[in-house]
Structure 1
Amino acid sequence: MATMSDQTSPEPLTGIFTPEQRRALFRNTNVDGNQKPIDIFTYGGGAVGALYSWIISLGSRPVNFTMACRSNYSMVQSSGFTIDSTLFGPGQFRPQKVIRDVFEVACPNDPTKSIVEYDLVFVCTKASGKVDIPAHIVTPGKTAIILFQNGINIEAPYKEAFPLNPVISAVLYISCSQPVPGKIVHVGDIDIVKLGLYPDLPAREPTHPSLQLISDLLQGGGCNAAAIPHIQSYRWLKTVYNGCWNVLCAVSGLDTHAFLASSPRAREAARALSQELIAVAKRALGILGADGQLASEGEGEGKVAKEALMLWSSEAATAGWNIALAERLVPITPSMLEDARKGMEMEVEAFCGEVVRTGERLGVELPVLKALYPILQAMNYRFKQARV
């Protein structure tokens, strides 16, 4: 799964510490020689799944990875991944177990259970709007499910399917791809991961143990990860960027810089689409009420957490910032454009469809997005028909 358009964090592009410094700091303060290995199932052997599994393996905590791969199975099974990262350096990663069929880890006598009781399951496939993982790899009451996926409203199906298990939403700010099977390329100096439990917990609540565990594992590998109480604010902020540039670039067939240079009206289109996305985000988060009034700070009905209000009152939550960021970064080929160029079905529902449905439910007008949505659906229809 390529994620070439995820550099949307409102924070500085580089953190206080380098990955090496974070690893050393974490190692010196969090090492326990008696810790047992953490069993992790990575569902999806794309760029995101491979990169973050590798980063975790760089830490001091022992981990055992099972990874489910599809088109790259033969390469990963035989040679693992070769990783080229401008931030973390070059590396090799070989999961302890690579499988093609998820039932390879099912108990022979009881296929509803796994031969391993996994501590964590990473969902690293494209968001489909439904539960993609098989039930047998999730041990009720134990396994935490971490969604390394794009889009909004992706968590509810998992919580409904696995009510006894924590569901953790991960918002990634990264630029990585897998140009050929087994080769992961990570460019740029961004390595921010925001993590939060679904549904959001009040800020005063203690961090959930599973949320703390995945945060510790990522930090231990040198990643700039943080557990936060208001994850949906960041998920929507990222959706503003992705919903704008994935959509416009996929429809036009141009990268971010080429699109902006294509016409005097290109910036106007990007601004209009960004404003629509911001409007539905603020309504969905409760930042603005149906009457257009700003919510008050606090917890409870009609109130919004201070951190969420600050984030959505900042420059990062403006159409101008969305366009300026695209101009400031190197030319980006968003994941939907990458898929379109390969004739593959795009994440239309994650980046566009679910936003349209949310806007309709909340009474937010989205004329630009609604006009582009059926065009993207038609493109997906064409790609699908070409494979028949």
Structure 2
Amino acid sequence: MELKARVLIVGGGAIGGLFAWRLSLSRDVVVSLVCRSNYAQVKSSGFLITSAQFGSGIYRPKGVYQTVEQAVATEGGAYDYVIVALKALPNIYDSSERIAAAVGPNTMIVLFQNGIGIEEPFVTRFPHNPLVSSVSFVSVKQETPGELRHGGFSLLAAGLHNPRTTLNGADYERLQFLFNAFESQGVSCIIEADIQPYRWQKHILNGSTNPVSVICGGSSCQDMVKNAHCKWLLEQSMAEIFVLGKTVTGKSFPGVDGIVDPQSATDYIRSIPVPVYTSMLVDSQCKRPMERDVILKNPIALAEKHGVDVPHMRALYALTTMIEEGYASK
């Protein structure tokens, strides 16, 4: 009997659900999923997925659990790979603590989280485990619990991130094995020695459109770039991210989607044919915590460390924090 790699994906939202679906179709892995708010729907009916790239279908995960502890108790022992697709909310919970029960000495931890500075809690808690920082370039939304709508493109860029551990060739081979499984099911994958320029590349859009959409009170990304005043604010914020990211990494960004400056970024947003609403906007409308720490607070801290002026990012952080504190107190 052929042994398959055991993968636990923690976080069954839009990103976790989509990539669990693709990975589960590979013959080389067996995938289980930890869901939270959509657990009941996914457990009973699976995911209903509409994808411009992959077609439509129903995905019923082999194992669906409410907690990591439940998954470990049911399936037994640590996993070969733990993919973290939780929202990065360090001011609310520690994502590294939430996966601890599933991590053994040989577990590779793979982060599918947005933002800057997300790796440190995992390095601190699991200093001897190979840690992969992955950036997903994909448009996918969970419209209702268990119902996913995906666009026509999916790209994963990843690299090993273990500043206190000596990495070896076996770690790269294990990462390559996982990404080969993704690629066998149509997901484009890139492995980089230094993933941080890709993380900052994605942050050009994440760090600008997310907070501005919340402050605008519900506008789509396309509507924001159509408004001259809002477009100016977006481009000013993006310019700060370009300067800060290049200063922190010492490298230029890879130019994914042709985004090489603020103008090309807003041109890219304008070219998207269907309205795009940011995750922070959806969270604010649902009165949930927003990822403002990893989207804004952590980059601002790096700006202070490196002597980079980011007045627009500071203003966005102040305003989104005030908005969240306003509805959280009610």
Does the pair score TM above 0.5? Answer: yes
Aligned partners of 1:57 and 1:221 also within 8 Å: no
User: Does the residue aligned with 2:31 lie in a helix, a strand or coil?
Assistant: strand
1:214 equivalenced with 2:157 (yes/no): no
Matched AA of 1:139: G
Q: Which residue of 2 is the match for residue 150 of structure 1? A: 114
Q: Which residue of 1 is the match for residue 77 of structure 2? A: 116
Deviations 1:194-220 (A, max 9, x none): 11110489xxx8571221122111112
Q: Which residue of 2 is the match for residue 196 of structure 1? A: 159
Matched AA of 1:338: V
Shift of 1:132: 4.5
User: Does the residue aligned with 1:194 lie in a helix, a strand or coil?
Assistant: strand
Q: Which residue of 2 is the match for residue 11 of structure 1? A: none
Q: State the distance in 1 between where 2:308 and 2:112 align.
A: 28
Identity %: 29
Q: Which residue of 2 is the match for residue 55 of structure 1? A: 22
Shift of 1:59: 2.4
1:254-265 equivalence runs, <5 A: 254-262=219-227, 264-265=228-229
1:96 equivalenced with 2:62 (yes/no): yes
User: Does the residue aligned with 2:153 lie in a helix, a strand or coil?
Assistant: coil
Aligned partners of 2:116 and 2:294 also within 8 Å: yes
Structure ID, larger Rg: 1
Q: Which residue of 1 is the match for residue 41 of structure 2? A: 75
More helix by share: 2
Aligned partners of 1:59 and 1:222 also within 8 Å: no
The 1:39/1:315 distance shift into structure 2, 3 A limit, reads closer
1:371 equivalenced with 2:315 (yes/no): yes
User: Does the residue aligned with 1:139 lie in a helix, a strand or coil?
Assistant: coil
Q: Indicate which of 265, 289, 299 corresponds to 1:322.
A: 265
User: Does the residue aligned with 2:246 lie in a helix, a strand or coil?
Assistant: helix
Shift of 1:342: 2.0
Matched AA of 1:257: Q
Shift of 1:310: 7.1
TM normalised by structure 2 equals 0.90
Q: State the distance in 2 between where 1:221 and 1:376 align.
A: 38
Deviations 1:21-61 (A, max 9, x none): xxxxxxxxxxxxx7411211111110111110100122232
TM normalised by structure 1 equals 0.77
1:383 equivalenced with 2:327 (yes/no): yes
The 1:251/1:126 distance shift into structure 2, 3 A limit, reads same
Deviations 1:301-352 (A, max 9, x none): xxxxxxxx4737x963311111111111133211111112222221111211
Shift of 1:66: 2.2
C-alpha RMSD of matched pairs (Å): 2.2
Q: Which residue of 2 is the match for residue 234 of structure 1? A: 198
Q: State the distance in 1 between where 2:158 and 2:37 align.
A: 29
Aligned partners of 1:195 and 1:215 also within 8 Å: no
**Structure 1, unpaired ranges of 5+:** 1-33, 109-113, 288-308
The 1:272/1:146 distance shift into structure 2, 3 A limit, reads same
User: Does the residue aligned with 1:208 lie in a helix, a strand or coil?
Assistant: helix
Q: Indicate which of 118, 129, 136 corresponds to 1:172.
A: 136
Q: State the distance in 1 between where 2:132 and 2:43 align.
A: 28
Matched AA of 1:49: G
**Higher RCO (CA < 8 A, seq sep 6+):** 1
Q: State the distance in 1 between where 2:155 and 2:258 align.
A: 19
The 1:149/1:310 distance shift into structure 2, 3 A limit, reads closer
Deviations 1:104-137 (A, max 9, x none): 24459xxxxx823311101001112342533221
Q: State the distance in 2 between where 1:168 and 1:239 align.
A: 18
1:250 equivalenced with 2:224 (yes/no): no
Shift of 1:169: 1.0
Q: Which moved more, 1:149-158 or 1:338-347?
A: 338-347
Matched AA of 1:186: H
Q: State the distance in 2 between where 1:324 and 1:73 align.
A: 38
Q: State the distance in 2 between where 1:355 and 1:310 align.
A: 16
Aligned partners of 2:112 and 2:133 also within 8 Å: yes
Shift of 1:158: 0.5
Aligned partners of 1:46 and 1:178 also within 8 Å: yes
1:127 equivalenced with 2:88 (yes/no): yes
Q: State the distance in 2 between where 1:35 and 1:162 align.
A: 29
Q: Which moved more, 1:96-105 or 1:213-222?
A: 96-105
Deviations 1:260-316 (A, max 9, x none): 233x322222221111111111111024xxxxxxxxxxxxxxxxxxxxx4737x963
Q: Which residue of 1 is the match for residue 300 of structure 2? A: 356
Aligned residues: 319
Runs of at least 4 residues off by over 6 Å: none
**Structure 2, unpaired ranges of 5+:** none
Matched AA of 1:121: V
Q: State the distance in 1 between where 2:101 and 2:229 align.
A: 52
1:311 equivalenced with 2:254 (yes/no): yes
Aligned partners of 2:201 and 2:253 also within 8 Å: no
Deviations 1:325-383 (A, max 9, x none): 11111332111111122222211112111111111111110111111211101111123
Matched AA of 1:349: D
